[in-house]
Amino acid sequence: MKNPLLKRVYCFALMACTALLAPTLVNGAAVDVSAVENIRPARPSIPDRTFLLTDFGAVGDGKTLNTDAFKKAIAAIAQAGGGKLVVPKGIFRTLPITLCSNLDLHLAEER
């Protein structure tokens, strides 16, 4: 091949095909990825407890900042070992919050 650009394109294409066709390697050993493709993560086990955001002082008027109410509700759910937090219809303003494990967050549908 006399054209250096064509030679580079050919080498790149050959390397790309080799990478696609090569088996997946972990620490130099081939790994059968078909065995892990069908693994599904376990579903969370969320206790059957319901917490209403407005019970923690939240107001869905679109003006009130509800960060503290969210934090209190999430802390109560974490303390109880999990549960469902229901945010009723409305506009609940908040700053960033951190969710906890075993939390099922339900937002009421706005109509």
Mean pLDDT of 30-43: 69
Give the gyration radius of the chain's Cα atoms: 26
d(CA 62, CA 66): 10
Give the pLDDT score at 91. 94
* CA distances from residue 111 to 88, 89, 90, 94, 108 in whole angstroms, order as listed: 12, 9, 10, 21, 9
Q: How confident is the model at residue 59 (pLDDT cuts 50, 70, 90)?
A: very high
Looking at per-residue pLDDT, the higher value among 56 and 20 belongs to 56
Mean pLDDT of 16-29: 56
Domains of the chain, by residue range, sit at: 4-37, 50-107
- pTM (two decimals): 0.63
Q: Helices marked H in the chain — which ranges?
A: 4-21, 34-37, 67-80
Give the residue from 111, 107, 103, 40 showing the smallest Cα distance to 76: 103
| Residue type at 76 in one-letter notation | A
